[in-house]
Amino acid sequence: MPSTASIEIKDLVLETRIGHYAPGEHVPDRNVLDLTLSIHPGLVLIEQDGMGHVFDYDPLVAEINRLAADEHYETQERLITRVVDACAQYRQVESLDIVLRKSPMSSRSDSGSLGVRVHVGADALRQRRLK
């Protein structure tokens, strides 16, 4: 039976600025990333302990944080695109799902979030690597 494996990064709060808002307009103050990276099961089901046998996600998380703080984004979609391209630099990543959401959506109730989600399959990820 085939196996699948993934690395999940959940609820990563990004220090970033996204959007343009008019004076007095409510501005969401949290931007949160969820990222699921599909990787080869051989990088999870290991016979011997050690970082040399697994996917080291720490450099990717550092790059995501750098990208988030790198500039003022007009859209969530642009930051997502840059994160996808960063993920594509790692051959171990076979496909990915990413969600970027901002909250709160209402200043009165301090509730709600608005997110953008995309799945990037293996073929699409290969195409991004060729760019």
Do residues 90 and 81 touch, judged by C-beta distance below 8 A? no
Position 116, amino acid: V
SS3 114: strand
pLDDT the model gives residue 109:
76
pLDDT the model gives residue 2:
64
Q: Which domains does the chain have, with CATH numbers?
A: 5-130 (3.30.1130.10)
pLDDT in tens, the chain (131 residues): 469 999 999 999 999 999 888 888 887 889 999 999 999 999 999 999 999 999 999 999 999 999 999 999 999 999 999 999 999 999 999 999 999 999 888 777 778 888 999 999 999 999 999 88
Give the span between the Cα atoms of 80 and 92, in whole angstroms: 19
pLDDT the model gives residue 74:
94
pLDDT the model gives residue 97:
98
